[in-house]
RNA sequence: GGAGAGAUGGCUGAGUGGUCGAUAGCGGCGGUUUGCUAAACCGUUGUAGGCUUUAUACCCUACCCCGGGUUCGAAUCCCGGUCUCUCCGCCA
């Protein structure tokens, strides 16, 4: 959420920045209209309340009965006017705040211009795609041949875009999760969190999935609980409505959770394999910090995600995401992509997005009342929040299977994962 | 799931219709005293909006879990909800 004062004082600046991501400026004018009306009514109601408070105090020390009745009548009239104004105020507040909740964030000046993925800017690439001396297979074939990935039975029990991992496939996923957690906890200084996998509505509002992306969420209507689409939601909301001591910042959390997404919009896209499903596992890093350190935090966060890729020994590249492609609620976003040589089947390989590292500035913090205090007696200020995957599992699985495949159909286990797989060096077909 | 109790400032805990943003204690902060520490004493100590103003000053308003209601007036009375605790039942 943006600061209403900023909108009020620099509307043209706000409009110009929002235009970069293709957002219309009309909504700003509507908000300003509501804001002006709101403040006018609040001032009016405040004055009337003051009048009533003074009058009511006089009531206790009133002398004559006639005077008392007259005062009572006058106060009752005042009360009626106040409730009338409050009624209008309630409506206006609701209109204004629901508009405020739909506004995007203002992009950082470093966000490149552009509408599509093609306009993202390459920041760095590490490693070169492997050249094969045999014809490599896509992961769905590798997985099926090894008996570690069962797409058909996933569909049978849960519907399209669900899959089953089996044997060494399930173990590989578990190894990746543990590897990522250990890396970010023991070497990158994060505290591990195990959060609930369902949250209240207000949490989704806090991190901005609601109201905008309601149709992408799995929602239990009976208890109004929502399956988390990412660990970002429960973990960032851990400190909602809190005022943190400055010396506790930055807070660095890492959490493994499954993620649930309807992905209604993308029917027909990325249908082959396990690239895009309704349920996937992810290890997510979340940071809460003071405003002046969030840029450094974003870069360390991105570096930590890159390190996970580096240790897997798979080529990756880091992209600075352009205005039209980045998440509309962050200020700056880096995507990290792992090379997958046959992910598009006969069309060949592609860079798979396995992490998205974003700085949200105070946007989420405002929505969830997440503040900190620099020192005793100082005014509370909004924190900055960030998050980034470290990493998203199915796509890492794709990259591992496709990059580490051998001519005989087996898959070499990346050295860094072997300690998490009872020393297994190679996944081969089994009964 | 059943029965009962409760929710008040950073914490503990008073307050049952007006003089209550709220007694008191603890903690915190400032000060006095003081070889040091401790103790004692004095003072101070919430959030947000109106509101960027020379000023974190003054003033006004709201907030005692949340939402409604009664009333001239609600922390206090009534209704609904949420959460917590105790006991019982059930269960990884």
Residue A87: what pLDDT?
87
From the alpha carbon of A78, which nucleotide's C1' atom is closest? B72
The A 341-400 residues near strand B by Cβ under 7 Å are 371, 376-377, 379-380
Residue A56: what pLDDT?
85
The reply to whether the CB atom of residue A56 sits less than 7 A from any atom in nucleic acid chain B is yes
The reply to whether the CB atom of residue A42 sits less than 7 A from any atom in nucleic acid chain B is yes
Residue A62: what pLDDT?
65
Instruction: Give all strands (DSSP E) within A214-265, no chain letters.
Output: 219-220, 225-227, 242-245, 251-260
CA atoms within 13 A on the CB side of A177: 16
From the alpha carbon of A75, which nucleotide's C1' atom is closest? B72
**Tens digits of per-residue pLDDT, A328-386?**
999 999 999 999 999 888 888 999 999 999 999 999 999 999 999 888 778 899 999 99
ipTM for the assembly: 0.87
**Tens digits of per-residue pLDDT, A45-81?**
989 998 888 888 877 666 677 777 888 888 888 888 8
Instruction: Tell me how crowded residue A225 is: count the other CB atoms within 10 A of its CB.
Output: 15
| Tokens at A90, concatenated | 């309630």
- Give the CA A134 to C1' B74 distance in Å: 82
Which bases of chain B are contacted by protein, using any atom under 7 A from a CB? Answer: 18-19, 28-29, 47-52, 60-62, 68, 71-73
Phi, psi of A33 (to 5 degrees): -60, -50
The residue whose CA lies nearest the C1' of nucleotide B45 is A377
**Tens digits of per-residue pLDDT, A298-317?**
999 999 999 999 999 999 99
CATH fold for domain A4-102:
Helix Hairpins (1.10.287)
Q: Residue A70: which H helix or E strand, with range?
A: helix A65-102
Residue A266: what pLDDT?
62
Please state, in angstroms and as integers, the Cα–Cα distance from residue A350 to each residue in A60, A263, A311, A409, following that order: 79, 21, 20, 21
Region(s) of chain A under CATH 3.30.930.10: 117-427
From the alpha carbon of A9, which nucleotide's C1' atom is closest? B52
- Give the CA A98 to C1' B68 distance in Å: 22
Choosing among 3.40.50.620, 3.20.20.140, 3.30.930.10, 3.20.20.70, the CATH entry for A117-427 is 3.30.930.10
Residue A347: what pLDDT?
87
Low-confidence ranges of chain A (pLDDT < 50): none
Residue A268: what pLDDT?
65
Region(s) of chain A under CATH 1.10.287.40: 4-102
Residue A393: what pLDDT?
96
The answer to whether the CB of A198 falls within 8 A of the CB of A225 is yes
The answer to whether the CB of A222 falls within 8 A of the CB of A200 is no
The reply to whether the CB atom of residue A75 sits less than 7 A from any atom in nucleic acid chain B is yes
């Amino acid at each position: 959420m943006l600061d209403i004062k900023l909108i009020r004082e620099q509307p043209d600046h706000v409009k110009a920045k929002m235009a970069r991501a293709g957002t219309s400026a009309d909504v700003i004018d509507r908000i300003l209209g509501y804001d002006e009306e709101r403040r006018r009514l609040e001032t009016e109601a405040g004055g009337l309340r003051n009048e009533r408070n003074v009058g009511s105090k006089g009531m206790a020390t009133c002398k004559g009965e006639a005077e008392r009745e007259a005062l009572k009548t006058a106060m009752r009239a005042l009360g009626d006017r106040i409730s009338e104004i409050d009624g209008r105020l309630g409506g206006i507040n609701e209109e204004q705040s629901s508009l405020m909740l739909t506004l995007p964030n203002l992009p950082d000046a470093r966000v490149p211009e552009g509408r599509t993925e093609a306009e993202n800017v390459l920041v760095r690439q590490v490693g070169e795609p492997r050249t094969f001396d045999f014809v490599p297979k896509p992961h769905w074939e590798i997985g099926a041949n090894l008996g570690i990935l069962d797409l058909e039975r996933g569909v049978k029990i849960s519907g399209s875009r669900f899959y089953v991992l089996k044997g060494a496939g399930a173990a590989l996923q578990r190894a990746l999760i543990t590897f990522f957690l250990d890396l970010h906890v023991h070497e990158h200084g994060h505290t591990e969190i195990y959060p609930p996998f369902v949250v209240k509505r207000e949490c989704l509002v806090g991190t901005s999935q609601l109201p905008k992306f309601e149709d992408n969420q799995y929602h239990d209507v009976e208890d109004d609980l929502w399956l988390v689409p990412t660990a970002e939601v429960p973990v960032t909301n851990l400190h909602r409505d809190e005022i943190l001591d400055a010396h506790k910042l930055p807070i660095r959390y890492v959490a493994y959770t499954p993620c649930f997404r309807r992905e209604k919009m993308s029917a027909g896209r990325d249908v082959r394999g396990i690239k895009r499903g309704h349920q996937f596992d992810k290890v997510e890093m979340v940071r809460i910090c003071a405003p002046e350190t969030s840029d450094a935090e974003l870069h360390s966060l991105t570096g930590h995600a890159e390190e996970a890729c580096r240790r897997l020994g798979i080529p990756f590249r880091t992209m600075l995401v352009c205005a039209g492609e980045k998440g509309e609620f962050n200020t700056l976003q880096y995507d990290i992509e792992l090379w997958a040589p046959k992910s598009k089947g006969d069309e060949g390989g592609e860079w798979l997005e396995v992490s998205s590292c974003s700085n949200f500035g105070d946007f989420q913090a405002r929505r969830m009342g997440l503040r900190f205090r620099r020192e005793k007696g100082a005014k509370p200020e909004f924190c900055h929040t960030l998050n980034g995957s470290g990493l998203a599992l199915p796509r890492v699985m794709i990259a591992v299977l496709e990059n580490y495949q051998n001519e005989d159909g087996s898959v070499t286990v990346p050295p860094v994962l072997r300690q998490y797989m009872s020393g297994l060096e190679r996944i081969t077909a089994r009964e």
